[in-house]
Amino acid sequence: MRPRSSRSLLMLALLASAPALADDGTTVTNERVLTAGGNTLHVELVETTDPARIDELQRWLAEAAGATLTAFGRYPLADATVRITQIDSDDDSPVPWGQTQRGDDVSVLLFVRRDAKLAELREDWTAVHELSHLFHPYLGREGRWLAEGLASYYQNVLRARAGLLTPEAAWRELDAGFARGQREHSGMPLDGLGRRGTMRVYWAGAAFWLEADLALRREHHGSLDQVLSKYSSCCLRGTGEVAPEAFMAKLDELAGADVFLPAYRRYAQSREFPSLDAAYAALGIERGADGLVYADRADARKLRAAIMQPRAKP
**Is pLDDT at 195 greater than 80 in this prediction?**
no
pLDDT band, very low/low/confident/very high, at 29 (cuts 50, 70, 90): low
Three-state secondary structure call for residue 33: strand
* pLDDT band at 103; cut points 50, 70, 90: confident
Distance between CA atoms of residues 181 and 174, nearest Å: 11
pLDDT at 14: 37
pLDDT of residue 295: 97
The answer to whether residues 167 and 272 touch, using CB atoms and an 8 Å cutoff, is: no
Please, which pLDDT band fits residue 15 given cuts at 50, 70 and 90?
very low
> Quick one: pLDDT band at residue 313, thresholds 50, 70, 90?
low
Average pLDDT over residues 141-154: 97
* Rounded distance between C-alpha atoms, residue 124 and residue 131, angstroms: 13
At 11 the pLDDT is 38
Query: Residue 222: is its pLDDT beyond 80?
Result: yes
Residue 12 clears pLDDT 60, i.e. is over it: no
Residue 104 is predicted with a pLDDT of 84
Confidence band (pLDDT; 50, 70, 90) for 207?
very high
pLDDT of residue 230 exceeding 70: yes
Tell me which residue of 133, 132, 136, 130 sits closest to 109, measured CA to CA: 130
User: Is residue 256 over pLDDT 50?
Assistant: yes
CA distance 61 to 127: 7
Query: Residue 47: what residue type?
Result: E
Give the pLDDT confidence of 273-310 residue by residue, as tens digits.
999 999 999 999 999 999 999 999 999 999 999 999 98
Rounded CA separation 169/201 (Å): 22
The answer to whether 85 touches 16, Cβ cutoff 8 Å, is: yes
- Determine the pLDDT at residue 1: 72
